[in-house]
Chains A and B, each alone.
Chain A
Amino acid sequence: MTKQQANWSPYDNNGGTCVAIAGTDYCVIAADTRMSSGYNILTRDYSKIIQLVDTSVLASSGFQADVRALQKVLAAKHLQYQYQHNKQMSCPAMAQLLSNTLYYKRFFPYYAFNVLGGLDREGKGCVFTYDAVGSYERVGYSSQGSGSTLITPFLDNQLKSPGPLLLPARDAVTPLSESEAIDLVKTCFASATERDIYTGDKLEILILNASGTRVEYMELRKD
């Protein structure tokens, strides 16, 4: 008598890649716009990015139904926070909220691989990277999703990340200028698109700085 196996899964992976880079006074958050399932493309124009607060932007790859549900939960919680505290959430506060929200579903997780980018209360860029159940860390840059294995080592090389075991602990926020960081992100995605079948079509980039939020798009290979 063999153990019964599930004949369906509540999850699907819609693919895609997300990247975020923190600068001294800006933050760049980017994701491709391809949504796929297996070997099929569902759409070439789906945004994985949502701006939750002026200073916090969430990019998530994985199962987009769970991603959308997660975005809605965070938006609702942010509204409640504003009523209680009479102010908007800071990026580190949102980072903690996201972690708690993910862990809340520890035993039926959101299949979402998140990168939260924004500006902290001092105006410095911050990036937080997560696993599916809420383990998170503040970093200078991060990549999640199907292309992350191709992008992360490239960013490690380009952004000269200090070794994580180095003491005193060094901040990995890059001294690069905003336009240099944007070019770097474009390069990352152009390369990842070449080899990762789930990444491509179009790149959406959000740039946060003291003057507000800006969006840029770049075409990627469609094959």
Chain B
Amino acid sequence: MFRNQYDTDVTTWSPAGRLFQVEYAMEAVKQGSAAIGLRSKSHVVLACVNKSNSELSSHQKKIFKVDDHIGVAISGLTADGRVLSRYMRNECINYFYSYESQLPVGRLVVQLADKAQVCTQRSWKRPYGVGLLVGGLDESGAHLYYNCPSGNYFEYQAFAIGSRSQAAKTYLERKFETFMESSRENLIKDALFALRETLQGEKLTSSTCTIAVVGVGEAFHILDQETVQALINEFEIAGEEAPADEAAAPDQADDSESSATAADQVTPSDPDVAPMDM
């Protein structure tokens, strides 16, 4: 990024009408490990890549349950994401206390966006360095939103954020028209395929990814490792091309064995990645 004299604090405009600090915050989101969201009429699936610093450490938690009907996947400064998740959880709890009904997703993302905006207009603050994919259900159906550090939010049919998310977005752009009517299983399958695109050659196994689902009659929950591995094996996508349709390819038993060793592989850390962990 270019160093210049208008980027010292967030309350300084550049002559071109830009707030560089906000744009730098959005860069932090792009450096984080990938997070993907897709939705149908009745379900929302969130998926993310598990990146850990070394083989010895655990990976960061990037998907958070906010309430039975809302979950969030983050990319960027995970500490900021954790703090915002706590805020969202409290908002849901307080809303339920007052109104004995669930906070509609659309309301929550507006509150979140307003909170982010405050940090773009105070000289003693900095923008949150995290992008949030908020997936949830309310009376008007299933929704997926993206909240960025600038304070903007958008609703999406499907979206991907973080490093190498463009590969996932390309896949999603090809298939998104089918998502609305998709079944829960196909939605998860598409999420796994999209996730695989971001891994770019690395084996997709249940230890390198996290999947979460929320839907009609299904509270938000993170799928456990066995379920995810079974889905990966079932969809035979550990190392194969994404089929145009649900073509039944012969089961490859080798995949499960080789994936056990591949699980130990970790992406070599990118020198451009900010030291704050993603």
> Are A76 and B89 in contact, with the CB atoms below 8 A?
no
| Chain A 11-30 interface 0/1 with B at a Cβ cutoff of 8 Å (1 = within) | 00000000000000000000
B13: interface (CB < 8 Å): no
What is the CB-to-nearest-CB distance from A86 to chain B, in angstroms, rounded to a whole number?
11
Cα separation A83 to B68 with both chains bound (whole Å): 12
Interface set, chain A 121-154, CB cutoff 8 A to B: none
| Chain A 65-92 interface 0/1 with B at a Cβ cutoff of 8 Å (1 = within) | 0000000110010011001000000000
> Are A80 and B97 in contact, with the CB atoms below 8 A?
no
| Chain B 60-92 interface 0/1 with A at a Cβ cutoff of 8 Å (1 = within) | 000001000000000000000000001001100
Give every chain B residue within 8 A of A76 (Cβ-Cβ): 93-94, 96-97
Give every chain B residue within 8 A of A72 (Cβ-Cβ): 97
What is the CB-to-nearest-CB distance from B238 to chain A, in angstroms, rounded to a whole number?
30
With a 10 A CB-CB cut-off, give which of B65, B93, B94 has the most chain A CB atoms. B93
> Are A83 and B89 in contact, with the CB atoms below 8 A?
yes
User: Chain B contact residues: over half helix, strand or loop, or mixed?
Assistant: helix
Give every chain B residue within 8 A of A83 (Cβ-Cβ): 65, 86, 89
Give every chain A residue within 8 A of B94 (Cβ-Cβ): 76
Cα separation A76 to B96 with both chains bound (whole Å): 9
Give every chain A residue within 8 A of B93 (Cβ-Cβ): 76, 79-80
Interface set, chain A 54-113, CB cutoff 8 A to B: 72-73, 76, 79-80, 83
Cα separation A123 to B98 with both chains bound (whole Å): 35
Give every chain A residue within 8 A of B65 (Cβ-Cβ): 83
Closest residue of chain B to A72 (Cβ to Cβ) is: B97
Cα separation A83 to B96 with both chains bound (whole Å): 16
Cα separation A80 to B90 with both chains bound (whole Å): 8
Cα separation A177 to B138 with both chains bound (whole Å): 46
With a 10 A CB-CB cut-off, give which of A72, A73, A76, A83 has the most chain B CB atoms. A83
Cα separation A72 to B89 with both chains bound (whole Å): 16
Cα separation A46 to B97 with both chains bound (whole Å): 20
Closest residue of chain A to B93 (Cβ to Cβ) is: A76
Cα separation A80 to B93 with both chains bound (whole Å): 8
Closest residue of chain B to A80 (Cβ to Cβ) is: B93
Give every chain B residue within 8 A of A80 (Cβ-Cβ): 89-90, 93
What is the CB-to-nearest-CB distance from B88 to chain A, in angstroms, rounded to a whole number?
11
Cα separation A200 to B65 with both chains bound (whole Å): 43
Cα separation A80 to B65 with both chains bound (whole Å): 12
Closest residue of chain A to B67 (Cβ to Cβ) is: A79
What is the CB-to-nearest-CB distance from A43 to chain B, in angstroms, rounded to a whole number?
19
Interface set, chain B 146-178, CB cutoff 8 A to A: none
Cα separation A76 to B94 with both chains bound (whole Å): 8
Cα separation A72 to B99 with both chains bound (whole Å): 11
What is the CB-to-nearest-CB distance from A78 to chain B, in angstroms, rounded to a whole number?
10
What is the CB-to-nearest-CB distance from A80 to chain B, in angstroms, rounded to a whole number?
7
Closest residue of chain B to A79 (Cβ to Cβ) is: B93
Residue pairs across A and B with Cβ atoms less than 8 A apart, 14 shown, are A72-B97, A73-B97, A76-B93, A76-B94, A76-B96, A76-B97, A79-B89, A79-B93, A80-B89, A80-B90, A80-B93, A83-B65, A83-B86, A83-B89
Give the top 10 A-B pairs by smallest Cβ distance, nearest first.
A76-B93, A76-B97, A79-B93, A72-B97, A83-B89, A80-B93, A76-B96, A80-B89, A80-B90, A83-B86
Q: 6 extra interchain contacts, Cβ-Cβ under 8 A, other than A80-B90, A83-B89?
A: A72-B97, A73-B97, A76-B97, A79-B93, A83-B65, A83-B86
